Structure 1
Amino acid sequence: MRNTTAPRTAAPARIDAPTAARLAVLAGATFVYVTFEVFPVGLIQDIAHSLDVTTGQVGLLVSGYAVVAALVTVPTVALASRVPRRTALVASLVVLIVAELLAAAASGFTMMVVSRVAAALTHGVLWSLVAPAAATLVPPERVGTATAAVFGGASLAAIVGSPGTTLIGELIGWRATLLVLTAATVAVTLALVRALAPRVAGAAPERDGPVAGRPLTGRPVADGAERVREDGHGAVNWPAVLTLCGVATALVTAHFLSYTYFAVIVADITGTSRATVVLLTVFGLAGAGATYLVGRYNDTAPQPAAAVTMAVFVAGAGLLAVAFAPAPPAVRYAAAAVAVALWGGAFAAAGPVFQTGVMRLAAGGADRASAVYVTGFQVGIAGGSALGAVLLGSSTVWLPLLTTLLAVAVLVAVLVRRPVPAVGARS
């Protein structure tokens, strides 16, 4: 006889509309932060001319931002742990607003540097807390999906933010464009205040406090519900977390080595800077599609997702280097477009795969482990941007070539070391 009492596998819980809206607000926060972080990429030559500095110096605004963020992320996240997560997230956006206004008013390179430093001071706070905050809004089996949704803001920054600010900057100037971005940040901040009211964020006002009291089980915590404490006793599998963070850092280094100088690479391949907006849009659209796809597999097959993502990244970066070869303009343009699509899609997908992996390895210590991940991310940005500035002095083609070599090393590490944990694994 057939056993009719055998348990059935429950279908994954659905994310309801109100929760989806709150995730969208968190994605909006990552959108404005990433848009400001990479703001110089599309307008690097305009900013250099306006501030009377070299293109390489403007590129260092990206690496300098990352250096500051890397240095302060762990201490600022520790400081932010003394206040409710909602307060820390809102405060980080308020600081971003101040930084954007300073940048718009910058009368020289020094003031621009000050604006970048200001934003970098709270960059790690937002990025360390936004994914764990999203995790508290959904059931445990939907944490990967929620993380991908929040990282969708970063993908949207690549679709709308970077090409959008580049296009608007060409029409009204980069300073006025920063004021538009500031208005968007103000709107997101007000939405975040409303969306992450204490009960929604996972705690009533009197119970949402330091990190140790935060809900990290992956679902909102109602009054009287059990909380998972982050007391540091076996909460984080640090060797596995550090291995995964190291792999992610290498990937980010490879990416920003070329991405920081995207406009320069495109101009050299196509012979015109006008293609920058189009190819940035291709980059972003591919990233959005990849983020959606990885959200479907991040909760079920994270290891294969990581391997495929890295293989596509290698293909895209390699093809971008090939696009420098002598060929008819149409062929080079087409090769660049395909390369950018593969590259942009893969990098966008890598973010939620690695971030979710860190949170799975961290268990109750998601905030602290995320701080380490964000620090590694910023180290990668700084290293890649600075190395790219050095290579610009020789030949632009060295940028995608070295990006490809580093990406191959990451792919090998993903296949051999398997640093991304399987669902339910912590080692």
Structure 2
Amino acid sequence: MTAAPTRIDPPTAVRLAVLAAATFVYVTFEVFPVGLIHDIAVDLDVGVGRIGLLISGYAVVAGLVTIPAVALARRVPRGTALVVSLVFLVAAELLAAAATGFAMMAASRVAAALTHGVLWSLVAPAAAGLVPRERVGTATAVVFGGSSLAAIVGSPGTTFVGELLGWRTTSLLLAVATAAVTAALVWALRPRPVPGVPPGAGPAAGRPVPGVPPGAVNWPAVLTLCGVAVVLVLAHFLSYTYFALIVTEVTGAPGAVIVLLAVFGGAGAVGTYLVGRHNDRAPRRAAAVTMAAFAAGVGLLALAFVPAPAVVRSAVAVVAVAVWGGAFAAAGPVFQTGVMRLAGVGADRASSVYVTGFQVGIAGGSGLGAALVGQPVGRLPLISAVLALAVLTVVLFRRPVPGS
């Protein structure tokens, strides 16, 4: 039998890039309110905390519907389900652009959340099905690179465009971009044989993972890893939802929000690239380093609130945001690849549980942040750091990530 190639050929790379574009537009709309939270609140005549709840509410809906939605999506081809999820996103973005009040804005978030879990549960297995098993970690990192790019271009970009043209126009432009990605996805997911891999033998399309009996899912291990991910995501969104408030208070300059969002995203791209290089060879080591960097980043951001000259506080904030952004971007591929490796042929089902847990973490983090936002804002990264240290402890001693 011909050995599976260890490199990803150019046509496959293009298809992976389209899948990454799908995650890019979804994440960009998901965090759309973060950089424009003040503008949206003023326009809709509601409080900042209520706009923050648009993020936690989105996560609640996504968390509730992901498992049944993915079960329903399994009745149609994976590519069809992914395309439908993007069609829902286009509708949501158009609804947001037309929103005349908070209720319509909330409805737009619900519309996107309904298929959010479908996209995130299926996109990584779809990417894994395009490549040899030895490159699953790399393919997953490429797809998650779309979410990193959303942090580099999407979030600061929508903030910048929103300040120039208004947040409604920005949402309309997002709808146009999503429609283009949807058309590209139809092409990218056409059946195509992978050199050296028999049809249907991709990692997420019927080929079991070593150590997992054929047709079985190691649910205790999957649930443990998902639980660790929930805590880390909660720690992240506890602070990230109120990124604009934290950065403005630390630096004293509202304009620094766009700059540091770009720093966050740029570091995320670096983190995604690095984890893509190491996640296939040493996943446990990659997980430990990622969690340690996350804890260091949010911990350093908490220290930026200590009384000091403004230039020192700003410099600390830049370093903290860079480390934090790089680590969080790397965490996604680490957890998602780990779940697929533990699940074997049940990757779609296990991924739906993971995505549900991710949404629970988002809802818990942004909701807890909304409850604390009336207190000194420096408490948010401090609590995030404590939670991240707990995750690091579990990763080091419980070793929930499979591999070496």
**Shorter-chain TM band:** over 0.9
The answer for unaligned runs of 5 or more in structure 2 is none
Distance 2:215 2:183 in 1: 37
Three-state SS of the structure 2 residue aligned to 1:421 is: coil
On the 8 A contact 2:208/2:214 being kept in 1, the answer is no
Given the superposition, is the C-alpha separation of residues 201 and 367 from structure 1 closer, same or farther in structure 2, using an over 3 Å criterion?
Answer: farther
Distance 2:39 2:251 in 1: 19
Identity of aligned residues (%): 72
Residue matched to 1:175: 168
Q: Does 1:50 align with 2:35?
A: no
1:16-415 equivalences in 2 (<5 Å)? 16-199=9-192, 215=200, 217-218=202-203, 227-228=206-207, 234-415=215-396
Distance 1:256 1:166 in 2: 18
Code of the residue aligned with 1:317 in structure 2: it is V
Given the superposition, is the C-alpha separation of residues 234 and 194 from structure 1 closer, same or farther in structure 2, using an over 3 Å criterion?
Answer: closer
Return the offset for 1:160.
0.4
Moved over 2 A (4+): 198-202, 214-219, 227-230
Corresponding pairs, count = 396
Distance 2:136 2:266 in 1: 24
Distance 1:305 1:407 in 2: 16
Code of the residue aligned with 1:180 in structure 2: it is L
Code of the residue aligned with 1:84 in structure 2: it is P
Distance 2:191 2:127 in 1: 14
- Offset from partner CA, 1:344-390 (integer Å, 9 cap, x none): 00000000011000000000000000000000000000000000001
On the 8 A contact 2:130/2:202 being kept in 1, the answer is no
Return the offset for 1:265.
0.5
Return the offset for 1:229.
8.9
Return the offset for 1:395.
1.1
On the 8 A contact 2:203/2:345 being kept in 1, the answer is no
Distance 2:290 2:74 in 1: 33
Three-state SS of the structure 1 residue aligned to 2:308 is: coil
On the 8 A contact 2:263/2:321 being kept in 1, the answer is yes
The answer for unaligned runs of 5 or more in structure 1 is 1-9, 203-213, 222-226
Return the offset for 1:272.
1.8
Three-state SS of the structure 1 residue aligned to 2:126 is: helix
On the 8 A contact 1:159/1:285 being kept in 2, the answer is yes
Distance 1:18 1:313 in 2: 34
Given the superposition, is the C-alpha separation of residues 229 and 76 from structure 1 closer, same or farther in structure 2, using an over 3 Å criterion?
Answer: farther
Distance 2:32 2:194 in 1: 30
On the 8 A contact 2:238/2:369 being kept in 1, the answer is yes
Return the offset for 1:409.
0.3
Distance 1:195 1:217 in 2: 16
On the 8 A contact 1:101/1:179 being kept in 2, the answer is yes
Return the offset for 1:77.
0.1
Distance 2:298 2:138 in 1: 27
On the 8 A contact 1:132/1:216 being kept in 2, the answer is no
Three-state SS of the structure 1 residue aligned to 2:8 is: coil
The TM-score with structure 2 as length reference comes to: 0.95
Q: Does 1:422 align with 2:403?
A: yes
Code of the residue aligned with 1:70 in structure 2: it is G
